[in-house]
Amino acid sequence: MDSLIALYPGQGSQKPKMALDLYDASKQVRHLFTLASEVSGLDLYQLLADGSEEDLKQTKATQLAVTLASRSAYLRLRELGFSFTAHSGFSLGELSAYAGGGLLDDETLFTLVAKRAALMDEEARKIEETQGKLGMAAIIGLDYATVEQALREAQIPGVYASNDNSATQVVIAGLQESISKGKEVLQAKGARRVIPLRVSGPFHTPFMEGATEPFSAFLETLKFKNPHSLVISSVDGTVIRSAQEAKEHLAMQLAKPVRWTEAMKHLASISQEEHAQVAEVGFGTVLSGLWKNSNAAIPCRNLGSEDAIWAYRKEMES
């Protein structure tokens, strides 16, 4: 079977009951659910089986559940004989990419996700209490450079370009009032649509700088290894070459924009050089859609469910 380049989704891909088919199919995945629940202090099976969409919007629940779904899909793919050439994750998904690339084990992964979520949520709450309601919104029809320049020239305080998703999709984040003003500016620049997102804070903006230092200090208490396969950071699209570099990028990404377009360019080059297939390893099709919009020569498919994984395996064996 062809080797895979794995793309791991971030917040916003969550949905009740995701990954439960993988739980039912694999003893290894069931062990992972137990480990993640013990490490985080949250019953993740119950959350996914019985929780509502509203329950999954809470930062800690979201980040743990999305990571669990991605890691479950990865383990199931390995269990069924798939190998991996490279890994990259969108925002939160970068942590799953580090696990896939051998930089950290599952206990460290879920310890890190829980701490990251707590710090981000705490910082967002502080800002909301002192400055006002927060949010994020997707801007459709403009590229990152145009959005960043337009917001800078408009001099609207409290809103930033936070995610460079594709050549025609950028996310802005910050104070809701500022986002509303930014929406008007960007629509005047040619934005076709502005879509509010199901995320609870102004992540990947300077608003998160208060969480960066404590998160960096926490990272230094954890043991990372050097990667055993290629890992591409969504902070800047570069290769993570060491354990220390991984820690630096994880701390940096809290308050820095996600440069997913840069990561996709690098991954597309790797896929052609290595003749590797590209797969979204986790629930949903957000990254598959962004990959399609990038016009890459090799398509990206979602391999986040038991049915999808088996269908792809049969296709590869035929």
Among residues 308, 211, 312, 300, the alpha carbon closest in space to that of 6 is found at 300
pLDDT of residue 118: 96
At residue 199, does pLDDT exceed 80?
A: no
CB atoms within 10 A of CB 201: 24
Backbone angles phi, psi at 248, to 5 degrees: -65, -40
The verdict on whether 91 is a catalytic residue reads yes
User: Among 26, 72, 91, 305, which one carries the catalytic annotation?
Assistant: 91
At residue 1, does pLDDT exceed 80?
A: no
Fold classified for 129-201: Alpha-Beta Plaits (3.30.70)
Structure token pair of residue 32: 């992972």
At residue 200, does pLDDT exceed 90?
A: no
Mean pLDDT score, 243-253: 97
pLDDT band, residue 6 (cuts 50/70/90): very high
Residue showing tokens 């903006």: 205
C-alpha–C-alpha distance, residues 88 and 90, integer Å: 7
User: Among 70, 166, 204, 294, which one carries the catalytic annotation?
Assistant: 204
pTM of the model: 0.95
At residue 61, does pLDDT exceed 90?
A: yes
What's the number of CA atoms in the CB half-sphere (13 Å) around residue 254? Answer: 26
CATH class of domain segment(s) 4-125+207-317: alpha beta
Mean pLDDT score, 232-245: 97
Listed by start position, the domains of the chain span: 4-125+207-317, 129-201
Residue showing tokens 């206990």: 107
